Amino acid sequence: MARKRGRGMAACWYGIARTATIDRAAAWAEIDDGGSAKIVTGVTEIGEGILTVLAQIAAHEIGVKPEHVVIGDNDTARAPEAAHAGASRQTYMIGNVVALASREARKRLVDVMAEMWDVSAETIHTGNGEIWAENTNHRISMGEAVACAKNRGVVPIGSATFGTDTTGIADGKGGDGSGRPWQAYVFGCQVAEVEVDTITGEVQVLAVWAAHDVGRAVNPQGVEGQIEGGIVQAIGQGLMEDYQLKDGHTSTSGFAKYILPTSLDVPRVNSIIIEDPDPIGPLGVKGIGEPAMVPTIPAVMNAIYDAVGVRVFDLPATPEKILLAMREKARREAATSMQAAE
């Protein structure tokens, strides 16, 4: 058979939010006229879907529909600091702080209605754009409730800040690296199934099963999107991408020479979402952007070994390297059998 299949696996761990420093983020929330929610925070979308996640969180906390959440963001002069878009920190840092700010805005509104209805605030519920008091006939729309609050001189707003209880690590001269770099850790494991063409050396990754702890999945489709995208980027690094330099000059300055995964290179990704809630933040969420990439390459390299008995130690595992390794292996085996024959 010219094509041989094999499987490999690898595990991973990752820290969520900024490393070995105190991370922080802030947000403002307002329940607006008409009963929509307005969220303002300093940094959001880089494609991962955080705007939708924040809309879901605000909707959940305030009791409106996600499509009735307006997000103003990404402006150092008009929004509170939320630090940066990276470090797998968006859902954890900004998601949690939006939840806290939304809770405060909701509390302002609920307190007004409790006074108006002469009920205790604990008996008031919100959801789906409505606010009501249990065991009463009191039930009005959020828009009406906002009007009530404003007639009493109250604008239902909230603000919050969320920081991590983390430290630097002892990485100075003579240090042992000890410290508390993150407060939330995630773990994951992937299995890869590959097919290696023994004539061309080409590797196809046919499937990846990816199990990742995300704390709590706010939007499962978005989590899958992060896992699928991360795996394909890792396959790019594992099998084909190579930024080449000679004397400081690159020979791969365009996509004709710098080879990227296309639709024909990608595996079927089967995602398994694990929810081990973070006990510190108000939502239980953690993160997924970066950890999704970590186990893929070793899982694929282990699978190639399983298929054809060669291991690539220097990435990428190009067809040329696979073929060379297979040839060397055959030579070694022939030499061994010769010796055995003697």
Residue positions annotated with a catalytic role: 290
Give the Cα separation of 156 and 178 in Å (integer): 45
What token pair was written down for 32? 């607006």
Residue 216 binds another protein (CB under 8 A) = yes
Cα-Cα-Cα-Cα dihedral of 296, 301, 306, 310, to 10°?
180
Among 42, 143, 156, 158, binds another protein (CB under 8 A): 42
Instruction: Select from 108-116, 142-150, 290-298, 331-339 the region that touches another protein (CB under 8 A).
Output: 290-298
Angle at 103 between CA 147 and CA 52, to 5 degrees: 95
Spatial contact of 60 and 39, defined as CB atoms under 8 Å apart: no
Nearest CB to another protein, comparing residues 119 and 211: 211
Q: Which stretch binds another protein (CB under 8 A): 27-35, 114-122, 149-157, 242-250?
A: 242-250
Instruction: Give whole-number Cα distances, 139 to 33, 35, 114, 119, in Å.
Output: 17, 14, 12, 13
Q: Which amino acid is at 272?
A: I
Q: Tell whether residue 282 is a contact of another protein (CB under 8 A).
A: no
Rounded least distance, CB 32 to another protein, Å? 16
Q: Which residues in the 158-187 window bind another protein by CB under 8 A?
A: 169, 171, 175-181, 185-187
Residue of 159, 165, 161 lying closest to 18 (CA atoms) = 165
Using CB under 8 A, pick the residue from 34, 157, 237, 319 that binds another protein: 237
The 117-146 site mask, x for binding another protein (CB under 8 A), equals ----------xx------------------
**Could you say whether residue 111 binds another protein (CB under 8 A)?**
no
Between 154 and 274, CB nearer to another protein: 274
Stretch that binds another protein, among 33-41, 146-154, 288-296, 330-338 (CB under 8 A): 288-296
**Which 8-state DSSP code applies to residue 266?**
P
Nearer to another protein, 81 or 104 (CB): 81
Give bridge partners of residue 41 from the DSSP assignment.
Answer: 27, 73
Please say which residue, 159 or 204, places its beta carbon nearer to another protein. 204
Residue 332 CB, nearest distance to another protein (Å)? 14
Task: Give the separation between CA 125 and CA 120, rounded to whole angstroms.
Answer: 11
User: Which parts of 167-243 fold into alpha helices (H)?
Assistant: 220-235
- 2 makes contact with another protein (CB under 8 A): no
> Does 34 engage in binding with another protein (CB under 8 A)?
no
Bond into 156 cis (ω within 30): no
H/E run at residue 299 = helix 296-308
61-80: which residues touch another protein (CB under 8 A)? 63, 65-67, 69, 71, 73-77
